[in-house]
Amino acid sequence: MIQVSNLSFSYTNQPFISGMNFSVAPGEIFGFLGPSGAGKSTLQKILIGMLRSYQGSAMVNGIECRSRTKKFYEEIGVDFEFSTMYEKLTARENLLFFSSLYEKKPRPFRELLERVGLEGDADKRVADYSKGMKSRLNFIKALLHDPVLLCLDEPTSGLDPVGSRVMKDMILEEKAKGKTILLTTHNMQDAAELCDRVAFIVGGRICALDSPHSLILSRGAATVTYTWLENGEQSASCPLGRISSDERLKALIAGNRLQSIHSSEPTLDEIFVEITGRELEYKISDNLKPKFIRNVE
């Protein structure tokens, strides 16, 4: 569905996005993760043909984004970081308008509105909507024409846990229908739950790309942490794969002396911190003060 090779782009004359290579298969949910200002939205804007002065190649749905025509958009649904609704029109009027722009017959609004819990506010002006209501409305706007590719930029921001659950379910339903989804989010749990693969973007470059599961595994095995009483509470931990050789743990189990025991896996959150942290450090060591950092270490 998407093939990106040697993609570079800059808003100014300083290089920004550089040397990106990746591809996204049809039916995949592909996540963009990374710190604020890393270039996630910029990359999405390139892939939806809004920024066309890039170098390299970005093919979406068989079309080079640089030379897309307006027809390209019949099959693309975009949910921006901000609301793009006519504020004085009601939600229903907005949906009616946006759906009239496509050749395809629109999906029934009522169903979509009901799904995201806006059926009671459909005739309210968008200006009177709360932040989360606007997010939900903009999200269903992207689904209206049933596009094969969805570009969602932080769709769950500003939503309560229930609203965000509903939206995640709807995203998974689109995937089940075979739609391809690009998803930017700062919520690592959402990313781990939804995405088939994620790309970590730092400073305009992809510095890790894999399934959340492999990323988590690659970071190291799960560990077991246990506590017991011995001159107050003591605690220790060992890797899950080696508990049989932890003599102390075995003794504690044999004597029924454990206070608590639990296993923990590294989370995508920790991986985020590690990857982005490492990347920043790498940049300093690479560009500025290699000797200094080595000496300190």
Ligand X SMILES: Nc1ncnc2c1ncn2[C@@H]1O[C@H](COP(=O)(O)OP(=O)(O)OP(=O)(O)O)[C@@H](O)[C@H]1O
State which of positions 35-94 bind ligand X (CB under 6 A).
36-42, 81
State which of positions 77-96 bind another protein (CB under 8 A).
78, 80, 82-89, 93
Q: How far is the CB of 153 from another protein (least distance, A)?
A: 11
Regarding 135 and contact with another protein (CB under 8 A), the answer is no
Q: Binds 37, which of Mg ion, ligand X, another protein, none (CB < 5 to 8 A, cut-off by type)?
A: ligand X
CA–CA separation, 291 and 297 (whole Å): 10
Q: Which residue is associated with the tokens 């009671």?
A: 120
Q: How far is the CB of 39 from ligand X (least distance, A)?
A: 4
3-class SS of residue 59: strand
Chosen residue from 14, 36, 67, 100 binding another protein by CB under 8 A: 100
* Cα diameter, the chain: 75
Regarding 112 and contact with another protein (CB under 8 A), the answer is no
Q: Which one, of 292, 287, 286, 235, lies nearest residue 264 by Cα?
A: 235
Q: Which residue is associated with the tokens 């781990």?
A: 192
The pairing of strands 63-64 and 17-24 is unpaired
Q: How far is the CB of 59 from Mg ion (least distance, A)?
A: 23
CA–CA separation, 81 and 139 (whole Å): 10
CA–CA separation, 154 and 82 (whole Å): 9
Q: What is the dihedral of CA 118, 123, 128, 131, to 10 degrees?
A: 20
Name the one range near Mg ion by CB under 5 A: 1-9, 18-26, 33-41, 260-268: 33-41
Name the one range near Mg ion by CB under 5 A: 36-44, 61-69, 207-215, 233-241: 36-44
Regarding 203 and contact with ligand X (CB under 6 A), the answer is no
Regarding 33 and contact with ligand X (CB under 6 A), the answer is no
Q: Binds 111, which of another protein, Mg ion, ligand X, none (CB < 5 to 8 A, cut-off by type)?
A: none
Give the type of residue at 4.
V
CA–CA separation, 69 and 233 (whole Å): 68
Number of residues interacting with another protein: please give it, by CB under 8 A. 32
Residues that bind another protein (CB under 8 A): 11, 42, 45, 48-53, 70-71, 73-74, 76, 78, 80, 82-89, 93, 97-98, 100-103, 141
